[in-house]
Amino acid sequence: MKLIVGLGNSDSHYAETRHNVGFRVINSLGASHRIIVQHHLPTAVYGEGTIEAQAVVLALPLRYMNANGKTVSDLCTRFLIPPNDLIVVHDDLDLPLGRVKLKLTGGDAGHHGVQSVIEHLGTGEFLRVRIGIGRPASKDEIVTYVLSPFKPDELSPLHDAVRAAEEKVVTVLRLA
């Protein structure tokens, strides 16, 4: 079984923000593969199903981004999933808007949600699907930027990135 978690902020106020791209991918995966992500735990919403003959759990943490690691760790424990069977989907300031990359292991690259996951799992040995959201002109604008919605002219590249991220997850599962 694989656990696929989208990082984000669960508060509806943040639903359309750049920081919630991971949630968009999980919701898209669920819709494409008829996995209903609505089973509630105290700190997550999840759905179970099959993608490419792999049993999967799709999950959305109900904590804020910087505390998502505890939820991810709890989900790994609940479903008996080791970190090497975990896929974390998240936004990335270091990639241009719309670019999607896989990262097999490593550090958090300054992403506080990923940092929280690494801290709570005690390892960085899990797969990440990084979705580029671009970067603001100034470092002072980062918090406002990641918590802001996409502009109308960014929606097409965003949609393409969500589809590309979904395809990368499916490919990983096909090859697993």
Q: Which positions are catalytic?
A: 19
166 secondary structure, DSSP code: H
Q: If residue 60 lies in a helix (H) or strand (E), which one and from where to where? A: strand 54-61
| Core vs surface per residue 53-88: b (16+ CB within 10 A) or e | ebebbbbbbbbbbebbbebbbbbbeebebebebbbb
Q: What angle do CA 5, 112, 57 make, to 5 degrees?
A: 5
Strand partners, 5: 59, 88
- Half-sphere exposure of 63 toward its Cβ, with a 13 Å CA cutoff? 18
Q: Which amino acid is at 16?
A: E
**Any residues with CB less than 8 A from the CB of 67 and at least 6 apart, and which?**
116
Alpha helix segments (H runs only) across 33-89: 68-78
